[in-house]
Amino acid sequence: MNHSLYDKLQVLEPAGQAMDREERLSAAGRPLLSWYHQHRRILPWRENPEPYRVWISEIMLQQTRVEAVKPYFDRFMEALPGVEALGEVSEDRLLKLWEGLGYYSRARNLKKAAELLVEKYGGKLPSSYEELKALPGIGSYTAGAIASIAFQIPVPAVDGNVLRVISRLTGSMEDITKQSVKRDMEELIKGVMPKEDPGSYNQALIEAGAIVCVPNGAPLCGSCPLFSLCVARQKDLTGVIPVKAPKKERRTEHRTILILTKDGHVAIRKRDDTGLLASLYELPGLEGRISQEQIKETLGVKEAKITPLPEAKHIFSHVEWHMTGYRVELTEVPKGDYLWVTPEEIKKTYSLPGAFKAYTKLIR
């Protein structure tokens, strides 16, 4: 993917005069687009950018890598090929399709938005940025991505990739975790983005951030179409820019997860309708590390065959679960409100979040 000297010479900045950031971003447009047309990845939603497909892909791509999204996207499109099917799907079926992708409120918002689209827009996505942004689950980035990629409307779509690319290009030392910095970058882009093919322009910025100006580790400046224009590269600041305020530390929670079995069935239950993994099914769990005696006491049973299971860890954005687990084979009905399902039904019908994967795979 290395660029020829010719490519680099095309984007050398004028000697002896400093460019301001508008000029720099403006000068980046042509080389960036030409690079995009040569080097972009072929992705299912890119080759056929219908509004529904762009919408679903952009929601899936929030906080999730392209490679992880691909199989989910294809499956989703096959199961729910349009807005109406999405509006009508049952929550359990929808969550089963989303199982393992995480951030499940994204799926619920998709369904809510689809219902609204059927009600208000005849089952089609509106093409204006403002109307898109008013839909559940759609913020400024996603509204910009759908409007520009599916409807060719020249509005910016600033995600983490774009924040990184443009901060480096312009040598900005601003903290990119600030909303004000994102809004400022949206304004900057709006002023210089081409009116022709804005969808490719936005995707070129995103793509450069994903595969050249990479999020983790050193950027691949030797392959970058903005090599000569990039202030962070010129000043050897790619290790410093983008500037990000340190994240709050994650708290750790200890949990004991139970595979309760009785007569060939396994107990699952619904989580609270607020907070972490809201309203999703889960394997029963208890706070803390619980002894085998305490398990029997909590379940209110005299006898149970209890076998320890391996420890496991799951990392959410703000919390880390450190889990111990037990298989509890019961002959009496335990205390608690459970749904008793077969292992087959767990595979096919009920969705258990990825956080429980270390234990769901041990269900038999």
Q: Which residues are part of the catalytic machinery?
A: 58
Q: How far apart are CA 227 and CA 169, in angstroms?
A: 9
Q: How many CB atoms lie within 10 A of CB 152?
A: 15
Does 160 engage in binding with ligand ADE (CB under 6 A)? no
Does 213 engage in binding with ligand ADE (CB under 6 A)? no
Does 143 engage in binding with ligand ADE (CB under 6 A)? no
Shortest distance, position 61 Cβ to ligand ADE, whole Å: 4
Is residue 312 within 8 Å of residue 325, measured between CB atoms? yes
Handedness of CA 198, 200, 205, 209 (dihedral sign): positive
Does 221 engage in binding with ligand ADE (CB under 6 A)? no
Q: How far apart are CA 138 and CA 157, in angstroms?
A: 12
Does 211 engage in binding with ligand ADE (CB under 6 A)? no
Does 140 engage in binding with ligand ADE (CB under 6 A)? no
Site string for ligand ADE, 14-43 (x = CB under 6 A): -----------------------------x
Q: Looking at 170, 203, 228, 351, which residue binds ligand ADE (CB under 6 A)?
A: 203
| Residues 224-263 close enough to bind ligand ADE by CB under 6 A | none
Is residue 156 within 8 Å of residue 189, measured between CB atoms? yes
Does 214 engage in binding with ligand ADE (CB under 6 A)? no
Half-sphere exposure of 255 (CA within 13 A, CB side): 22
Site string for ligand ADE, 70-109 (x = CB under 6 A): ----------------------------------------
Q: Which CB atom, from 210 or from 355, has the smaller least distance to ligand ADE?
A: 210
Q: Which CB atom, from 57 or from 360, has the smaller least distance to ligand ADE?
A: 57
Is residue 21 within 8 Å of residue 47, measured between CB atoms? no
Does 299 engage in binding with ligand ADE (CB under 6 A)? no
Residue with tokens 């809201």: 278
Does 277 engage in binding with ligand ADE (CB under 6 A)? no
Q: Which of 250, 260, 256 is nearest to 290 (CA)?
A: 256
Shortest distance, position 131 Cβ to ligand ADE, whole Å: 20
End-to-end CA distance of the chain: 48
Q: Which of 147, 143, 178 is nearest to 163 (CA)?
A: 178
Does 206 engage in binding with ligand ADE (CB under 6 A)? yes
Q: Which CB atom, from 199 or from 353, has the smaller least distance to ligand ADE?
A: 199
Q: How far apart are CA 179 and CA 175, in angstroms?
A: 9
Residues forming contacts to ligand ADE in the complex (CB under 6 A) are 43, 58, 61, 66, 159, 203, 206, 210
